[in-house]
């Protein structure tokens, strides 16, 4: 039996479109057993959907690794416990892909972390969620179509991530249809400067820089029409004392980096101001270990 514990992730962080992400202390767990034949998938928890193996992302990711290794088991029983809300911008698909690939690789042990990152980025189409999902911490990564180059900074316990998300879903594919084909050069320069500022602020723990460093001109201004309360919630976050806030991945989750010591007062203020709206609210610490696999 193989057990995989795989973290939720939050990508983009404002200016780091398709490149930055961080891992959260919220996990899906996957158990894999080799059987005599057939594929049995048991899924429980958040957004449970009883998909056929061909449509199940964990199994499809496992199959990619089996094909890459040229090996395959007779049969499989896969149990998935989903705690990560799906299609909300919290890395649920990256968790399925990385969880499936790491689990499949544990059966034959042929691929290294960089192979897994490349296969996962190819499947997910961008590396911003899959890299922190596998490695933990805050990561910046780039996928050139063949390999992922990344850098990781572990995150301290003095900061946490607050998230507000609606019950409605928004797929990344749909959220990408709002993005323009071309952007003005000055907007590209703005994001280059803000991305560099963000990495420097996180590395140096200069969290007061995050309000400015998390500003973006490449995707958030275009996606705002699909996220009706974005500006209002950002204002609520700022008034409650957040260091910085951003659209998590392609949304609809809205995230804020806050001081862990202010968690209670921050929650109280945000929940009070959103009490007449139908949103879910949570605060997570960060995961610095990434995906954990155990052979039992």
**CB of residue 244 vs ligand HSE: minimum separation in angstroms?**
17
Q: Show Cβ contacts of residue 126 under 8 Å, excluding neighbours closer than 6 positions.
A: 11, 18, 143
- Between 97 and 159, CB nearer to ligand HSE: 97
> Could you give the strand order of the β-sheet that contains 244-247, starting from the edge strand earlier in sequence?
244-247, 254-259, 159-166, 279-284
DSSP state of 85: P
Interface positions with ligand HSE (CB under 6 A):
11-12, 17-18, 126, 128-129, 172, 175-176, 219, 249-250
**Least Cβ distance, residue 11 to ligand HSE (angstroms):** 4
Compare residues 20 and 256 and give the one whose CB is closer to ligand HSE: 20
Decide whether 2 or 8 has the Cβ nearer to ligand HSE.
Answer: 8
d(CA 184, CA 173): 23
Least separation in angstroms between CB 95 and ligand HSE? 12
Closest CB 128 distance from ligand HSE, rounded Å: 5
Contacts of residue 258, Cβ cutoff 8 Å, sequence gap at least 6: 159, 160, 161, 162, 240, 241, 242, 243, 266, 283
Closest to ligand HSE by CB, 132 or 166: 132
Instruction: Closer to ligand HSE by CB, 216 or 287: give it.
Output: 216
- Return d(Cα 169, Cα 49) in angstroms, integer: 14
Q: Is 172 helix (H, G, I), strand (E, B) or coil?
A: helix
Nearest distance in Å: CB 71, ligand HSE:
30
Distance (Å, whole) CA 217 – CA 15: 7
């Amino acid at each position: 039996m193989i057990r995989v514990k795989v973290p939720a992730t939050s990508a983009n962080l404002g200016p780091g479109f398709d490149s930055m992400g961080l891992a959260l202390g919220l996990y899906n767990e996957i158990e894999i057993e080799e059987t005599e034949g057939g594929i049995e998938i048991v899924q429980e928890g958040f957004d449970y959907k009883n998909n056929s193996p061909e449509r199940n992302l964990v199994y499809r990711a496992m199959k990619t690794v089996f094909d890459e290794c040229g090996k395959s088991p007779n049969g499989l029983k896969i149990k998935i416990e989903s705690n990560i809300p799906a299609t909300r911008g919290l890395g649920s698909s990256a968790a399925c892909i990385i969880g499936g690939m790491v689990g499949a690789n544990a059966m034959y042990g042929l691929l290294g972390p960089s192979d897994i990152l490349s296969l996962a980025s190819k499947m997910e189409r961008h590396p911003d969620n899959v890299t922190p999902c596998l490695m933990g911490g805050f990561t910046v990564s780039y996928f050139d179509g063949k390999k992922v180059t990344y850098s990781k900074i572990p995150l301290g316990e003095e900061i946490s991530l607050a998230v507000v998300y609606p019950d409605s879903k928004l797929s990344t594919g749909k959220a990408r249809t709002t993005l323009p084909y071309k952007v003005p050069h000055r907007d590209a320069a703005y994001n280059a400067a803000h991305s560099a500022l963000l990495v420097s602020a996180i590395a140096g723990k200069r969290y007061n820089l995050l309000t400015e460093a998390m500003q973006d001109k490449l995707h958030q201004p275009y996606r705002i029409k699909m996220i009706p309360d974005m500006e209002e919630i950002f204002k609520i976050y700022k008034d409650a004392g957040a260091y910085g806030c951003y659209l998590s991945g392609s949304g609809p989750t809205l995230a804020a980096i806050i001081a862990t010591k202010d968690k209670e007062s921050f929650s109280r203020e945000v929940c009070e101001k959103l009490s007449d709206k139908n949103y879910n609210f949570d605060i997570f610490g960060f995961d610095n270990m990434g995906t954990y696999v155990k052979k039992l």
